[in-house]
Structure 1
Amino acid sequence: MTSRFTKLNDGWNADPNVPNEQVDLLDRELALSFNLNRFRFAALKGERATLRFSGVSHYRLGEENDHAWYEGFGRYPEAPGWGEFYEVREDIVELDADGWIAVRDLPASRHFLFYLRDSTFECLANDWTFERLT
């Protein structure tokens, strides 16, 4: 089945050159922090933001980069655009890809995907929020 993608970032994105992503896990909440894109959106140099995911069951920060994606070798080459944050809807989430980390045994209801400069972040969680860090 072909995946369906819903773009979730509106008015913000990660820095396209140096996102400096960092993953922190506290209990069943995961935080993905990154530098904001000041070239396309209103952000200060070095300003950071955090995506917080609740009810996390699994996550991965893979090594896929934009070169592999543009050449059609990405995990989701049919995604609408590189560098965006999506919710992925499909029948089966393949947890056999390299790098998945199990957080808890209970299933999560949603699948999130964020293409960063030199990596791909995926998270199976129940919900997410976005916050700018000052």
Structure 2
Amino acid sequence: MNYKKLNIDWNADPNAPEPYLSVSGKQVSLRFYLNPFLFDQIEKDGEGELIFLNCHKYSFNNCNDEGYLHGQYRYSNEQPPWGEFYLLQTDWKYDFPMECTILEEKFSEDQMKHFIFFFRDNTFECVAEDYVFSYLNKTIP
């Protein structure tokens, strides 16, 4: 499987990211605490937000780091490594969690991208046209 890491100068807090998911129409927002331990520009309790645009479907499941490292997810730790945000090069029509929420039945397949973000206690996946990342309160961009 091919994948591309998307979070180059930021990541979720490794201990308590506390992701919060909200949906408005075809837009999915994922808000979480950022990692101040590895990134100097991020202060303690700094938050980030990913907004997925024109989202077709998403899954926010409870596969955690231990389950992933013990082979309880459909990917192994090498494909892709745990704890990051990725763009996956897969055939997402077949490679997606069965339990998911579909937001839009009609969409342009060639515009859609498969994203995945591994948090400590959850895994978020979605198929959307694109995403936007923003630093929120208590961060220095």
User: Normalising by the residue count of structure 1, what TM-score does the alignment of the two structures yield?
Assistant: 0.90
User: 1:85 is matched with which residue?
Assistant: 85
Task: Give the aligned partner of residue 71 of structure 1.
Answer: 70
- In the TM superposition, what is the alpha-carbon distance from 1:97 to its structure 2 partner? 2.7
Between the aligned residues of both structures, percent identity stands at: 35
Which amino acid in 1 is paired with 2:18?
Answer: N
Q: Give the gaps of 5 or more residues in structure 1.
A: none
Of the candidates 38, 41, 45, which is equivalent to residue 39 of structure 2? 41
**Aligned with 2:63: secondary structure?**
coil
CA drift of 1:4 comes to 1.3
Instruction: Note if contact 1:62-1:98 (Cα within 8 Å) is conserved in structure 2.
Output: no
Q: Deviations over 1:44-102 (max 9, x none)?
A: 11111000110101001111111111122222214231100001111344377353001
C-alpha separation between the residues in 2 aligned to 1:66 and 1:9? Answer: 18
Pair 31,60 (structure 1): closer, same or farther in 2 beyond 3 Å: same
Q: Which moved more, 1:54-63 or 1:71-80?
A: 71-80
Aligned residues: 132
- In structure 2, what is the equivalent of residue 117 of structure 1? 120
Instruction: Spell out the pairing of 1:1-134 with structure 2 (5 A cutoff).
Output: 3-42=1-40, 43-77=42-76, 78-94=78-94, 97-107=97-107, 109-134=112-137
The residue identity in structure 1 corresponding to 2:122 is S
Aligned residues of 2:52 and 2:130 also touching (Cα < 8 A): yes
Q: After TM superposition, where is structure 1 displaced by more than 6 Å over at least 4 residues in a row?
A: none
Distance in 1 (alpha carbons) for counterparts of 2:23 and 2:45: 23
Which segments of 5 or more consecutive residues in structure 2 lack a partner in the other structure? none
SS at match of 1:49: strand
Instruction: State the superposition RMSD in angstroms.
Output: 1.6
- Counterparts of 2:17 and 2:96, CA distance in 1: 26
